[in-house]
Structure 1
Amino acid sequence: MKILQCVPNFSEGRDPNFLKELEAVLRQFPVKILDLSMDTNHNRADSTFLGASEAVEAAALAVTSRAVELIDMRHHAGSHPRMGAVDVVPFIPIRGMTMAEAVEIARRFGRAFAEKHQVPVFFYEEACTSESRRNLADIRKGEYEGMVTKLQDPAWRVDAGPQIRNEKSGVTAVGARMPLIAFNMNLHTNDLEVAKRIANAVRHVGGGLRYVKVMGLSLEDKGIVQVSMNLVNYQKTPIHRAVELIRAEAARYGVLVKEC
């Protein structure tokens, strides 16, 4: 059996009923739900489920469709970068299937989602149609508010859907990738500039670690800041190396790590 994982991220993190809605949809499909969680500061929800590739693809379209119905980006604000109600939908081959097969599913899903909801879709990571779109951060730059202008640029022709931002639902990225580790470290300070400087020192494009994407965020309700990481290849850059570097960089500013 070909086992596929899907990890849709949604721009809703403050309504606890939202997760119940997602779960109710996913329970209709023969998939295993691994995680349903949300973060109020990020105002973002994550879901993780896996199963036979056909079931996962069908469940992904159903659960993202429900999210489109429930989320209105015109009223969204949060500390995490975002560009759409269904912000990002990655597919990860787990067992018995190749990355090429995951790419095929991601692109098929992306076209179906775009057509059904009239939402612009970009393909990223292994599903990208050009190297300039491999990095999710490059696609998402400008966020929801900046997508009106961005989509007027010929360099940002969408891969599927209309060439105009959906006012209610924004823009969605769909991709195929290897398993990713998301890891956050909270700092004993409320100085966002410190978190951003640490993030810049740690991320690969800033001269830090390869296969690490990182940003500094403010957790306003806790009065602290956070260094938020995605390790896109934990085999080549293990998590302890990233943690050690963040601790060292924080020490340069006289800041301790509060919790991981």
Structure 2
Amino acid sequence: MKQIIECVPNFSEGVNADTIAAIANAISSVEGVSLLNVDPGHDANRTVITFAGEPQALVDAAFAAIKTAGQLIDMRTQKGEHPRMGATDVCPLVPVRGISMDEVIKYADQLARRVGEELQIPVYLYENSQPDKRRNNLSVIRSGEYEGFFEKIHQPGWQPDYGPAEMDANRGATVIGARNYLVAYNITLDTKSVDIAKKIAYAVRESGYKGAPGSLKFVKAIGWYMDEYNAAQVSMNLINIEHTPVHIVFEEVRRQAQKLGAEVTGSELIGLIPLICLVEAGKYYQAKYGLSNELNEAVLVETAVTELMLGALGEFDASQRVIEYLLKI
């Protein structure tokens, strides 16, 4: 069995199609990797690219992408709704098949070292790759964002794991690490009110607000306005889909929205989703509404797509958005 790792780098560019294409081409030009998805976000000014392959080829492809992004993205002029600290903001490696997390940690460390030493970009390790639990959380590392890092990088405890201890004005800094599957998931509301979206985010995210925890563990959330939809959104990262599955998140956001006089009008994925998320959502909604006793995978996925309103904001093709379907594993 071949060892397969997934890589999901986030780049601070969601507008310039030529730049996005150049980064994607840098990845796909490396033999032994498969480019699975390119998902640009205009308002967020951020592109999530998903690719997978055998370990060493994947490391080479990720390095090429980070190098290309650093050459083409100028952080001095980059602005967008999404928090960011570098041209390649974050680059996670995820074990998919035939490989342990401990092995993936070693490959993530190899990539981080190369980026720091060869490209001279400050690199911070995160999640399973970061032994210091005080700085293994992406949001904690990225706090202050690009603008604040010129000072933060010199503060005690914030020296990069690799690369120069000096913020790079053009390329910023980068976060690299090994982690489990994460689902990037946005829910759109029938309001333009960012205040309502933020209140919902505070209510559901694990960190809550001002010391009061939120209702959903392993969920990170912010509220923002998206010109693309002329509406506010709750934008989330679901970092433990076994403990807090997608359908539970959707229902809780809908409940919190209704408490504030708002309704959910659709949801969207940023990047890809593991099949199990849609299968479990399908089972949940079939049981909840008595839709069917059918346990056929295709029916369960279709039920999930409908009930999660994944097609409300645009066409949703599960064959192009489910990791297993693209990898054919």
TM-score of the pair, normalised by structure 2: 0.77
Structure 2: runs of 5 or more not aligned:
268-329
Residue aligning to 2:219: 212
Secondary structure of 1:68's counterpart equals helix
Greater Cα offset, 70-79 or 150-159: 150-159
Greater Cα offset, 213-222 or 72-81: 213-222
Residue aligning to 1:7: 8
Residue aligning to 1:250: 257
Q: Of the candidates 241, 244, 258, which is equivalent to residue 237 of structure 1? A: 244
Secondary structure of 1:165's counterpart equals coil
Q: Deviations over 1:194-233 (max 9, x none)?
A: 1111101101111221111111122135431110111111
Residue aligning to 1:28: 29
Percent identity between the two aligned chains: 39
Residue aligning to 2:145: 143
Q: Of the candidates 167, 180, 189, which is equivalent to residue 178 of structure 1? A: 180
Supply the distance in 1 between the matched residues of 2:130 and 2:203 (Cα, whole angstroms): 27
* More strand, by proportion: 1
Matched, 1:47 2:49: yes
Supply the distance in 1 between the matched residues of 2:230 and 2:149 (Cα, whole angstroms): 30
The AA in structure 1 aligned to 2:230 is: G
Greater Cα offset, 214-223 or 56-65: 214-223
Cα distance, 1:16 vs. partner? 1.3
Supply the distance in 2 between the matched residues of 1:236 and 1:221 (Cα, whole angstroms): 32
Secondary structure of 1:170's counterpart equals coil
Aligned residues of 2:94 and 2:179 also touching (Cα < 8 A): yes
The AA in structure 1 aligned to 2:10 is: N
Q: Deviations over 1:25-74 (max 9, x none)?
A: 22222211111120000000111110111110111101111111100000
Residue aligning to 2:202: 200
Residue aligning to 1:226: 233
> Over the residues paired in the alignment, what is the CA RMSD in angstroms?
1.1
Supply the distance in 1 between the matched residues of 2:97 and 2:17 (Cα, whole angstroms): 33
Residue aligning to 1:85: 87
Aligned residues of 2:43 and 2:228 also touching (Cα < 8 A): yes
Secondary structure of 1:73's counterpart equals coil
Aligned residues of 1:186 and 1:225 also touching (Cα < 8 A): yes
Supply the distance in 2 between the matched residues of 1:138 and 1:99 (Cα, whole angstroms): 22
Residue aligning to 1:132: 134
Supply the distance in 1 between the matched residues of 2:205 and 2:57 (Cα, whole angstroms): 36
Aligned ranges 1:67-86 → 2 under 5 Å: 67-86=69-88
TM-score of the pair, normalised by structure 1: 0.97
Secondary structure of 2:90's counterpart equals strand
Cα distance, 1:19 vs. partner? 2.6
Aligned residues of 1:124 and 1:173 also touching (Cα < 8 A): yes
Aligned residues of 1:215 and 1:229 also touching (Cα < 8 A): yes
Supply the distance in 2 between the matched residues of 1:221 and 1:234 (Cα, whole angstroms): 28
The AA in structure 1 aligned to 2:221 is: V
Aligned residues of 2:13 and 2:20 also touching (Cα < 8 A): no
Greater Cα offset, 21-30 or 31-40: 21-30
Supply the distance in 1 between the matched residues of 2:54 and 2:228 (Cα, whole angstroms): 40
Residue aligning to 2:160: 158
